[in-house]
Amino acid sequence: MEFWEKELETLPQDKLTRLQLDRLNLVIQSAVRSPYYRSLFSGNGDLESLRDIREVNGIPFTTKQHLRDHFPYGFLTLPRKELIRLHSSSGTTGNPTVVFHNRHDIDSWSNLMARSLFCAGVRDTDVFQNIVGYGLFTGGLGFQYGIERLGALSIPAGAGNSARQIKLMRDYGTTVIHAIPSYLARLYDVFLAEGVNPRTDTELRMLIIGAEPHTEAQRQRIQEMFGVKAYNSFGLSEMNGPGVAFECEYQNGLHIWEDAFLVEIVDPETLEPVPDGEYGELVMTTLDRQAMPLIRYRTRDITRILPGICPCGRTHRRIDRITGRTDDMFIIKGCNIYPMQVEGILLRVAEVGSDYVIRLETIDDQDEMIVEVEVKKDWFRGDLLFLDQLQKRLTHMIRDEVLVTPRVKLVEPGSIPKGEGKAVRVFDNRQN
Ligand code: ADP
Ligand code: ZN
């Protein structure tokens, strides 16, 4: 078995816990240099165990709202002169959230990214095409620095323009692609339209997918389209960006890098810890970030710790794929529904195409869930009786899963509009 940083990646659990505690105490001491954390605690006195990191000991959660309220400099522990980069989210609602990095932070993040890529099986002999937005979005530069640290040949392609992406792949013999899953399904359609077969006409040997929620069914589809494995990459800008948790060759959950992040899974309502194996909200503390440490940050992402040891030999625990964000969940007719539950049903059905969208509408004073589903070309041309049966079948399958009867609308492939970024799956147009 090969590793990027063998000693750290295979550190026995007790030593890893010790390392985390030492780092956590340093983080708490340095966090009080920021105006925000200084207003909350003194940083005096070390915690004796990781379990002491609780509200009862005066260490509260940090939320996106706190970041917004103290925008832009309230969480900084260093003078501006020390900073070398910032990344920020779009901030369509209120202040954006911003994270600042000093040289150490960028170095540490690059290393985590190189480690993640190596863990999934990328090597310095690869040609790596990074098909995500560069700029303030962390997926561009985050991957870029990791690819360079690893020593693979990087193609900083950026997002969009599928015909050009295919040309780049063929000109330079791309072996690895990183892209968001909803985009790969579209890229595949362009391959077909151009008469290029990604399995036989390219050198592609693996994919890395992440940055947005997707189901195992979606992953399977993408793997079948391209004829290679697709490894799941998880991160969020508040925790640098990508390089937080990554799948290894076994594709059995994502190793979360516990030397750099302290992980808690809590019940999103009571905020009490849940036992390993149970779903809850992921809460994270940075353990190796200097300019802007974050303590007990509530990610809003729902996942669970997977029990057991991974055969790859890495000791860092694994999280399950993210099933959704607490704020993705919608309530209709008294039922709590995550878009991924609907996706899990749809993408298992062979006739269903690559896109879908959920619209919540008020019709005749009733709230309705309308599920618009693209049907694959060959089937969409099919006879009306067949489409009618497919529509009924999907309606029943979704109802059995989410307990609400949807109005399923079958639409032509390519008719659901898509932006360049992450897919938006739910539109809530309900009155009040
Ligand atoms: P934004 O909040 O604007 O989407 P980020 O780029 O920081 O900005 O997005 C991070 C979020 O994206 C995560 O909190 C999570 O909800 C989602 N995400 C990232 N990677 C994955 C993944 N592999 N699977 C599911 N969701 C993911
Ligand atoms: Zn593993």
pLDDT in tens, 370-394: 999 999 988 888 788 999 999 999 9
Which pLDDT score is estimated for 209? Answer: 98
Task: Give yes or no: residues 145 and 69 share one domain.
Answer: yes
Residues of the domain holding 83? 1-326
**Taking residues 136-162, what's their average pLDDT?**
97
Tens-place pLDDT, residues 39-57:
998 877 788 999 888 766 6
| pLDDT class of 354 with cuts at 50, 70, 90 | confident
Residue identified by tokens 């105006």 is 35
Instruction: Assess whether the C-beta atom of 399 lies below 6 angstroms from ligand 1.
Output: no
Which pLDDT score is estimated for 95? Answer: 79
Atom of ligand 1 nearest to the CA of 90: 3
Atom of ligand 1 nearest to the CA of 232: 23
Domain-terminating residue out of 289, 308, 326: 326
Task: Give yes or no: residues 342 and 281 share one domain.
Answer: no
Report the CATH number at residue 371: 3.30.300.30
| pLDDT class of 96 with cuts at 50, 70, 90 | confident
Residue 122 near residue 150 (C-beta atoms within 8 A) = yes
Instruction: Assess whether the C-beta atom of 88 lies below 6 angstroms from ligand 1.
Output: no
Which pLDDT score is estimated for 90? Answer: 65
Residues 6+ apart with CB under 8 A from 228: 204, 205, 206, 207
CA dist 432 and 320 (Å) reads 35
Task: Give yes or no: residues 243 and 391 share one domain.
Answer: no
Report the CATH number at residue 235: 3.40.50.12780
Residues 6+ apart with CB under 8 A from 200: none
Instruction: Assess whether the C-beta atom of 301 lies below 6 angstroms from ligand 1.
Output: yes
Give strand ranges (E) for 104-163. Answer: 127-130, 153-155
Task: Give yes or no: residues 403 and 309 share one domain.
Answer: no
Of 247-251, 273-277, 397-401, 417-421, the least confident: 417-421
| pLDDT class of 92 with cuts at 50, 70, 90 | low
CA dist 323 and 336 (Å) reads 13
Give the ligand whose atoms come closest to the C-alpha of residue 252. Answer: 2
Task: Give yes or no: residues 377 and 250 share one domain.
Answer: no
Q: What is the DSSP letter of 55?
A: G
Task: Give yes or no: residues 153 and 294 share one domain.
Answer: yes
Task: Give yes or no: residues 408 and 299 share one domain.
Answer: no
Ligand 1 centroid vs 241 CA: distance in angstroms?
8
Task: Give yes or no: residues 156 and 47 share one domain.
Answer: yes
Pick the closest to residue 41 from 303, 365, 81, 54 (CA basis).
54
Which pLDDT score is estimated for 399? Answer: 97
**Taking residues 123-130, what's their average pLDDT?**
98
Share of the chain above pLDDT 70, in %: 98
Domain-terminating residue out of 326, 361, 383: 326
Task: Give yes or no: residues 51 and 7 share one domain.
Answer: yes
Task: Give yes or no: residues 287 and 351 share one domain.
Answer: no
**Taking residues 247-270, what's their average pLDDT?**
97
Instruction: Assess whether the C-beta atom of 247 lies below 6 angstroms from ligand 1.
Output: no
Domain-terminating residue out of 261, 291, 326: 326
| pLDDT class of 293 with cuts at 50, 70, 90 | very high
Tokens representing 159 are 């997002």
Task: Give yes or no: residues 39 and 51 share one domain.
Answer: yes
Task: Give yes or no: residues 312 and 342 share one domain.
Answer: no
Q: Which residues are bridge partners to 160 per DSSP?
A: none
Tens-place pLDDT, residues 212-225:
999 999 999 999 99
Name the 3-class secondary structure at 110: helix
Tokens representing 55 are 């509200």
Share of the chain above pLDDT 90, in %: 89
**Taking residues 122-134, what's their average pLDDT?**
97
Tokens representing 194 are 């151009």
CA dist 17 and 411 (Å) reads 52
**Taking residues 270-283, what's their average pLDDT?**
96
Helix 162-172 crosses helix 181-193 at what angle (to 10 degrees)? 80
To the question of pTM greater than 0.85 for the whole model, the response is yes
Domains of the chain: total: 2
Which pLDDT score is estimated for 225? Answer: 97
Instruction: Assess whether the C-beta atom of 302 lies below 6 angstroms from ligand 1.
Output: no
